[in-house]
Amino acid sequence: MSDPEVNQFDPKEGDAEDVFDPTPVDPKVERFLGGAVGRIRHAMLLLGALATLIAWSIWGWKVAAGVLLGCIVSYVNFHWLERALNSLAERITTVGSKVSSTGTVFRFLLRYVFIGIGAYVIFKGSADGLYGFLGGLSLTVAAILCEAAYEAYAALRSKI
């Protein structure tokens, strides 16, 4: 049994080998988890098309156009976020990296300008379109939830 006086989660106390397990990750698991971004992208395309069709059939073309535009902005935003994170990771891990931090920050802020302009244009045109646009912006969250459910299912079915 462990000593109740020792905090197991504090690397300064107790045995550090118990806290940081250097066991390598199974290559099968690493391949599976490495495919998450691609699966999220595919889920975004599928869910975006499905949401647009459902919005059109229930609320009409204005809401459907807003959903479609929101989905497009969400997809582009996800792509830009991925690029920014990869650029930041490269800058951190590579000595003498040529990646500009100014460009990375600029692209990061540009994403929000892009979303704001889209919302403003739609708001000026139609409140219904704005509601659809805001719904379409949640596409990334929906796709990530689908990926989380798939990973949980795979883990429970021992595929990974």
- Residue 119, pLDDT score: 79
Look at residue 85 and tell me if it is in a domain.
yes
Distance CA 118, CA 30 (A): 37
Structural domain range at position 85 = 25-156
111 within domain boundaries: yes
86 close to 155: Cβ distance less than 8 angstroms: no
- Average pLDDT for residues 112-123, to the nearest whole number? 80
Q: Is the pTM of this model over 0.85?
A: no
Max mean pLDDT range (31-35, 37-41, 113-117):
37-41
Report pLDDT for 98. 66
Tell whether 80 is covered by a domain: yes
Domain count for the chain, please give it.
1
C-alpha dist (Å) from residue 96 to 93, 99, 104, 105, 124? 9, 9, 16, 18, 47
Q: In sequence order, which ranges of the chain are alpha helices (DSSP H)?
A: 16-19, 27-34, 36-59, 61-93, 101-125, 127-137, 139-156
- Whether residue 144 is contained in a domain is answered as yes
Confidence of residue 148 (pLDDT cuts 50, 70, 90): very high
| In a domain? residue 9 | no
Q: Could you tell me which residue, 19 or 88, shows the higher pLDDT? A: 88
Flag whether 40 is in a domain: yes
Question: Is the residue at 15 inside a domain?
Answer: no
Q: Are 27 and 93 in contact (CB under 8 A)?
A: no
What sign for the dihedral angle of Cα 57, 62, 67, 68? positive
